[in-house]
């Protein structure tokens, strides 16, 4: 009998613009999402998009316990402009044994504080958005950019017109570039890559690697095709013009 894979469970705490967008996206991906905020108006706005959306105070341990925080796979603390509330929430989640805790920070200096409290990932939304945009506009072939950690990044790279079609196994990307191709998009359809898949111009590759490594791989995918040089034919030799023959009889000088 085939085992049914259980959905991942997420708790999104704080439903401002950042938290609300994450909650909506996860719900749209058919994840098990519980979204909460202390502000009733914020909850009302998100409720049509997220089935489980409640008014609750995450700084109160009892409130999180009643919501089943101890059974959550991943919590996202997206409380904006309230350091104290974010700290108390992270501490509560950690005490309930939540293994993955992503926290939104408003300042660079807060990152280390959240990490010390047990956050597994800390992001500054504006910084992440700016970084993504900067990387996209720097290269026409970088279509999307997501920072996975301090060292590793996931990018979507389009394959240039000058690329000579090759199978993934022939490209040998792990050895030559130390990157992983985790997805291939052909004609707007996403697929998990297979070794014999043929990569052709116009394809989009989802790649994981460090910035230096994926940059080299992007250059490899978008090398400009060399212009065809027409072979120059040697110019035909000019035939030496025959000198006019002198008259057999020279006119005598008078």
Q: Same structural domain for residues 163 and 91?
A: no
Q: Whole-model pTM above 0.85?
A: no
Quote the tokens at residue 116: 């010390």
Q: Same structural domain for residues 199 and 132?
A: yes
**Domain endpoint, select from 123, 149, 184:** 123
pLDDT at 131: 57
Residue 227 has pLDDT above 50, yes or no: no
Domain containing residue 44: 9-123
Q: Same structural domain for residues 14 and 99?
A: yes
Residue 72 DSSP label: -
Q: Same structural domain for residues 206 and 133?
A: yes
Lowest-pLDDT range of 42-56, 133-147, 184-198? 133-147
CA-to-CA distance for 72 and 67, rounded, in angstroms?
10
Residue 254 DSSP label: -
CB-CB contact of 119 with 102 (8 Å): yes
In this structure, what CATH number is given to the domain that contains residue 113? 3.40.50.720
Residue 110 lies in a domain: yes
Q: Same structural domain for residues 100 and 137?
A: no
In the chain, the number of structural domains is 2
Q: Same structural domain for residues 95 and 44?
A: yes
Encode pLDDT of 233-250 as tens digits: 555 555 555 555 555 444
Please indicate whether residue 215 or residue 13 has the higher confidence score (pLDDT).
Answer: 13
Q: Same structural domain for residues 76 and 160?
A: no
């Amino acid at each position: 009998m085939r085992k049914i894979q259980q959905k991942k469970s997420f708790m999104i705490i704080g439903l401002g613009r950042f938290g609300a967008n994450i909650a909506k996206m996860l719900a749209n991906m058919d994840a098990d999402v519980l979204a909460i905020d202390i502000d009733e108006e914020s909850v009302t706005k998100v409720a049509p998009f997220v089935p489980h959306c409640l008014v609750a105070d995450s700084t109160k341990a009892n409130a999180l316990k009643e919501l089943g925080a101890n059974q959550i796979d991943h919590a996202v603390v997206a409380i904006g402009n309230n350091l104290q509330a974010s700290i108390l929430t992270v501490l509560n989640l950690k005490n309930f044994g939540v293994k993955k805790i992503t926290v939104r920070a408003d300042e660079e200096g807060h990152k280390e504080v959240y990490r010390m409290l047990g956050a597994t990932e800390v992001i500054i939304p504006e910084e992440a958005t700016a970084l993504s945009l900067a990387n996209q506009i720097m290269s026409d072939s970088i279509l999307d950019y997501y920072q996975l950690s301090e060292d590793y990044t996931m990018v979507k790279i389009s394959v240039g017109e000058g690329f000579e079609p090759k199978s993934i196994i022939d490209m040998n990307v792990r050895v030559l570039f130390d990157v992983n191709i985790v997805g291939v998009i052909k004609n707007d359809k996403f697929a998990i890559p297979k070794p014999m898949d043929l990569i052709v111009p116009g394809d989009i590759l989802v790649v994981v690697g460090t910035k230096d490594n994926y940059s080299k791989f992007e250059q490899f995918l978008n090398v400009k095709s060399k212009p065809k040089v027409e072979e120059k034919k040697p110019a035909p030799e000019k035939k030496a013009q025959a000198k006019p023959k002198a008259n057999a009889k020279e006119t005598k000088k008078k």
